[in-house]
Amino acid sequence: MNPLDQRIVSCLVANARSSYAEVGKVVGLSAPAVKRRVDRLLDRGVLRGFTAVVDPEALGWGTEAFVEVHCRGNVSPSRIRARVEPLPEVVAAYTVTGAADAIVHLRAADIHQLETALERLRGLDIVDRTVSTVVLSRLLDRPPAAGGG
């Protein structure tokens, strides 16, 4: 990705509702030129879409935990994903290095719902054990920067 594309992405990360003309003013291009570049970035998968960023707490989902998942035997990432994806409290899942096979990010309305979600996660046929860390407060939540930093 060249520096001009990085600047366009940075503008869109800062405000995805910016018009092509507004982005063009910042990066020094016409609106049609910005649109062509944005279309290419979408085609290449650099931009995956545009979305509203919602505060989960405002929607009543303010309780969070990160859970180390230790699987029984050798379980593929696709199988882990297939098992955790149906759980509505799972907002993200990652394969990781270290002792755990995956880290699962859970979000719930309250501690009771979180406990229920943890019980369902522990009950999956692939799970040997879990180690949970409940989030007390969010210190920093930074969107990715186009320039890598």
Tens digit of pLDDT for each residue in 73-93? 999 999 999 999 999 999 999
Q: Using the predicted structure, report yes or no on whether residue 95 has a pLDDT greater than 80.
A: yes
pLDDT given for residue 1 in this prediction: 82
User: In the prediction, which pLDDT does 147 show?
Assistant: 57
CATH number at residue 13: 1.10.10.10
Give the total number of structural domains in the chain.
2
pLDDT per position as a tens digit, 103-112: 999 999 999 9
The verdict on pTM exceeding 0.85 is: no
State the burial class of residue 6 (Cβ atoms within 10 Å of its Cβ: 0-12, 13-18, 19+).
middle
27 in a domain, yes or no?
Answer: yes
